[in-house]
Amino acid sequence: MSERDEAVAKRAEAVMTPNYRPAPLAFVRGEGAWLYDQGDARYLDFAAGIAVNALGHNHPALTRAIAEQARDLLHVSNLFLNEPAVALAERLCALSFADRVFFGNSGTEANEAAMKLARRYMRLVRGEDRWGFVAMEHSFHGRTWASISATGQPKYHEGFAPLVPGFTHVPFDDLDAVEAAVDDTTCAVLVEPIQGEGGVITPSPEYLPGLRDLCDRRGVLLIYDEVQTGVGRTGRWFAHQHADGAKPDIMTLAKGLGGGVPIGAMLCTDEVAQGFAPGAHASTFGGNPLACRAGLTVLDVIEREGLCERAARVGKYLGGQLQSLVDRHWGLVEVRGRGLMRGLAVNPEGFDRATLVAAARARGLLMTMAGPDALRLTPPLIIETGHVDEAIQILDDALKESAL
Ligand SMILES: Cc1ncc(COP(=O)(O)O)c(C=O)c1O
């Protein structure tokens, strides 16, 4: 941390609302997998803005597309059409189960759209008074009111009661619990294919196909929150594609889709889309040409540079190298996740994760924490095995220094 970073930290403390606890680092530029602070010290970015910078920093195709689009047209509203939005929707449909797309600006907004669509479809199209959601313990769906109500972690509810009614939470990866919780008031089951903020928890291979079957039998919709897992992160375009035949009715995306430009998307089938009539839902900024052009470029680059395959290959290598750390350090317990969405669970007995994150940062590696016991590594999809080796070396040194 340079003196200039410290000065920015002081100014932030004086004027920003106190709901964040940022590290005292004000980055000024990035290049590939690296970030640079005001003193030009560089950091290997295995946080990627919490799984956002899919193409890393300053990817030439993305910066060019954004600059060109900014020159041509930034915003027109949904009172008119814009071609980049239509092209991105076409592209997302071609890559997925979906027939139709709604654009917003964030993950939580995409989830709001998903839940509103599910409820409205059940009421107005199917004529059934089903308005409840079954969601999962330890899940995370965002910070707006319905999304925190869907989120199965009480710490995110603190001080915000009363929550939005209609949410039942059951243990993750437990089909019997969902079976028991679904009743004739349920409209949808909402689940992350791999829980991210909950601690990078991958369910058993039978879970998503089992949920699909259950939802079909019980006449309810299946919603996947792929805000964190989507757009190549786990080695497929969407994480549920690892589970054959487990397609949802609705899926939400954000984070990696814009490569750093804010965008959220709610994808759905033709059938379910009937739940939205003109005026039923909207977003002023949603689907603006700038964000959609960025999204299109991210998808183009992922395809052209084979980044899903790379996430699978380099992610497997990362998993193996993390396992070798687990084998060497008593403070580490297990490796979680898939592709380039990885959790490193720590020994809850006397192990302070925050100390390790700070020690790694001091050595030039950025990562995040997730759930009660995990470090989380979500590097850009463009990394190579050499970046993994550097990260593992830093982690190893930091662990040794902390005598863990
Ligand atoms: C699975 C999941 N859903 C929703 C969100 C909320 O996204 P946003 O912060 O863009 O609203 C997140 C963010 O971490 C997430 O991981």
Cα 7 to ligand 1 centroid, rounded to whole Å: 30
Identify whether 113 is part of a domain: yes
Is pLDDT above 70 for 383? yes
Just list the catalytic residues.
Answer: 140, 225, 255
Say whether both 291 and 333 belong to one domain. Answer: no
Q: What is the CATH number of the domain that holds 91?
A: 3.40.640.10
Distances (CA, A) of 169 to 89, 139, 140: 32, 9, 12
Q: Which helix (H) or strand (E) holds 31?
A: strand 27-31
Say whether both 214 and 324 belong to one domain. Answer: no
Say whether both 109 and 207 belong to one domain. Answer: yes
- How much is the average pLDDT of 181-198? 98
Question: Across the chain, which distance is largest between two alpha carbons, in Å?
Answer: 63
Burial of residue 325, with CB atoms counted within 10 A of its CB: 0-12 exposed, 13-18 middle, 19 or more buried: middle
Say whether both 156 and 234 belong to one domain. Answer: yes
Cα 128 to ligand 1 centroid, rounded to whole Å: 30
User: In a 3-state reduction of DSSP, which class is residue 274?
Assistant: coil
The pLDDT value given to residue 403: 67
The torsion of the CA quartet 249, 241, 232, 99, rounded to 10 degrees, works out to: -30
Say whether both 158 and 242 belong to one domain. Answer: yes
Q: What is the CATH number of the domain that holds 346?
A: 3.90.1150.10
Say whether both 156 and 264 belong to one domain. Answer: yes
User: How far is the C-alpha of 140 from the C-alpha of 151, rounded, in Å?
Assistant: 5
Does the CB atom of residue 373 touch ligand 1 within 6 A?
A: no
The pLDDT value given to residue 362: 95
- How much is the average pLDDT of 184-203? 98
Total number of residues shown for the chain: 404
Does the CB atom of residue 318 touch ligand 1 within 6 A?
A: no
**How many domains, in total, are found in the chain?**
2
Say whether both 89 and 234 belong to one domain. Answer: yes
Q: Which of 281, 304, 327 is the last residue of a domain?
A: 304
DSSP 53-114: -TT-BS-HHHHHHHHHHHHH-S---TTS--HHHHHHHHHHHHHSS-SEEEEESSHHHHHHHH
Position 150, amino acid:
A
Identify whether 249 is part of a domain: yes
Q: Which residue has the tokens 């290959």?
A: 313
Say whether both 346 and 362 belong to one domain. Answer: yes
The pLDDT value given to residue 49: 98
Closest atom of ligand 1 to 262 CA is 10
Q: In what side-by-side order are the strands of the sheet with 167-170?
A: 100-104, 264-268, 250-253, 221-225, 186-191, 132-136, 167-170
Identify whether 65 is part of a domain: no
Does the CB atom of residue 228 touch ligand 1 within 6 A?
A: yes
- How much is the average pLDDT of 187-204? 98
Q: Which of 257, 277, 304 is the last residue of a domain?
A: 304
Share of the chain above pLDDT 90, in %: 94
Say whether both 89 and 231 belong to one domain. Answer: yes
The pLDDT value given to residue 404: 62
Identify whether 80 is part of a domain: yes
Supply the range of the domain harboring residue 223.
Answer: 73-304
Say whether both 296 and 318 belong to one domain. Answer: no
Centre a 10 Å sphere on the Cβ of residue 11 and count the other Cβ atoms it contains: 10
User: How far is the C-alpha of 369 from the C-alpha of 376, rounded, in Å?
Assistant: 5
pLDDT, averaged across the chain: 96
Say whether both 337 and 299 belong to one domain. Answer: no
Identify whether 330 is part of a domain: yes
Pairing of strands 42-45, 34-37: antiparallel
Identify whether 386 is part of a domain: yes
Is pLDDT above 70 for 199? yes
According to DSSP, residue 192 is labeled -
